[in-house]
Structure 1
């Protein structure tokens, strides 16, 4: 089950965290994985992990906010079967504390970057006779999260784009779904705690973990397993769906 043998996949932001786990999981199940990262060096660790067990992967330096660069990379890759739109950046702030520059930065990567990859990938998926698109949204698209105005705005747009793409291409054998994680223990979380709470990292980690009713953060591999399923033929009847993977955050925090 869940074999991706003979499938070609593109994973954006595949150099660390959730993106790395997804790239490794797809490759481990037979896919030829193409990783888009801001620099080639950013994707080297993922490349080494995949190649260590004989998997097939390539890394490309690509700023997803620049459509010309995205189109050039997708032209190099050619026909594909899978796109995972994972690249994204975070921001902390309310509507009146978010600067225009910060809002534009979030928009350019988290919204325009997803659009650019959809724009470039769909013709390449069409060449393969159809395929699968996974967009990484967030629980911030589903419920109110304090101090996440720009980030929530962007992830809400990603969820909406998912529904639109699923509707528009359903007759071309292109499925599109999104995944909305709660907090996931990634290097970003560790860096955030080190920067903002250097004197009480363990206490804050525990506090953030317990915001999920299940009592912990997710591991990137758990999100990757869901992505693998949605990319596989076993999920061929699923499109236009957002999947919260959140330890009960959106339904049990009451």
Structure 2
């Protein structure tokens, strides 16, 4: 099944983890994937993986908090394709733990987690509208946006802002043939996981993961591919009647 045959898809933050998994899954189903990441080497490596598997991909460096860089990338996609069918936004930093946050830390977290989300998903509207009713935007938030996080309030706040923003964008997009949805992962076993927990890097990895898993009803963290599968679904025609929704992919954490 090639749900993305002849479709152009941009995955922002596709150099590793969930973004990489989404890019690989979409490419495996026929999508022409633009792999964008602030780490250019990682973006090009993922694009090469796709090419080697028989898919089509372009790897590019992108700082999603840089509005001009976003503008330039969309202009390039416009020149090369004239249309964009889907955008997945997979960008975020945990920010500092606790309540003591400097103004510089505050601004940096806001820029990466909120400013980039706004511009990454609004500057592409004209391109997505050209998809003839099949335009789609997905954004990754976090289960902490639903249940809160005592470890990093600034993270749950900034990623939580995506939820009402996506609903507003979905109402605007509905009149232009563009769906907008959100994925809210819980614990995902990626290299970034330990950065969310103060002092985690100094603890025994096996003990740390056991502690993480015990807090999840299903007893384990998600694999990046499990999140990537949901992202691919939401951007496909299989989700053609879904818009404005947030789907927790968290092993039951938000209902525990």
Give your verdict on TM over 0.5: yes
**Equivalent residue for 1:120, pick from 120, 123, 126:** 123
* Distance in 1, Cα, partners of 2:136 & 2:196: 32
Aligned to 1:223: 227
Aligned to 1:108: 111
| Residue-by-residue CA offset, 1:81-112 (whole Å, 9 max, x unaligned) | 000011211124233x1221111111101111
The question of whether the paired residues in 1 share the 8 Å contact of 2:15 and 2:39 is answered with: no
* Distance in 1, Cα, partners of 2:9 & 2:190: 22
| Residue-by-residue CA offset, 1:5-24 (whole Å, 9 max, x unaligned) | 01100000100000000000
TM-score, with length taken from structure 1: 0.94
Aligned to 2:250: 246
RMSD of aligned residue pairs (Cα, Å)? 1.7
The 3-state SS of whatever aligns with 1:98 is: coil
Aligned to 1:129: 132
Runs of at least 5 residues in structure 2 that lack an aligned partner in the other structure: none
Q: Say yes or no: does 1:10 pair with 2:10.
A: yes
The question of whether the paired residues in 2 share the 8 Å contact of 1:106 and 1:154 is answered with: yes
* Distance in 2, Cα, partners of 1:40 & 1:166: 31
| Residue-by-residue CA offset, 1:94-148 (whole Å, 9 max, x unaligned) | 33x1221111111101111011111221111112223110010111110121121
Distance 1:199 1:162, change over 3 A: closer
Deviation at 1:40, TM superposition (A): 1.8
Deviation at 1:199, TM superposition (A): 4.4
Runs of 4+ aligned structure 1 residues displaced above 6 Å come to: 191-195
Distance 1:144 1:240, change over 3 A: same
* Distance in 1, Cα, partners of 2:131 & 2:47: 25
Deviation at 1:189, TM superposition (A): 2.4
The question of whether the paired residues in 2 share the 8 Å contact of 1:43 and 1:59 is answered with: yes
TM-score, with length taken from structure 2: 0.93
Deviation at 1:194, TM superposition (A): 11
| Residue-by-residue CA offset, 1:161-211 (whole Å, 9 max, x unaligned) | 110110112121110000000010112126778973434221011101221
Aligned to 1:70: 70
Runs of at least 5 residues in structure 1 that lack an aligned partner in the other structure: none
Distance 1:89 1:191, change over 3 A: closer
Distance 1:167 1:237, change over 3 A: same
Distance 1:195 1:76, change over 3 A: farther
| Residue-by-residue CA offset, 1:51-73 (whole Å, 9 max, x unaligned) | 12111110111111111111001
Q: In terms of mean alpha carbon deviation, does 118-127 or 19-28 score higher?
A: 118-127
Deviation at 1:157, TM superposition (A): 0.8
| Residue-by-residue CA offset, 1:16-49 (whole Å, 9 max, x unaligned) | 0000000000100110000111132121221122
Task: Tell me the matched-pair count.
Answer: 251
* Distance in 2, Cα, partners of 1:188 & 1:197: 11
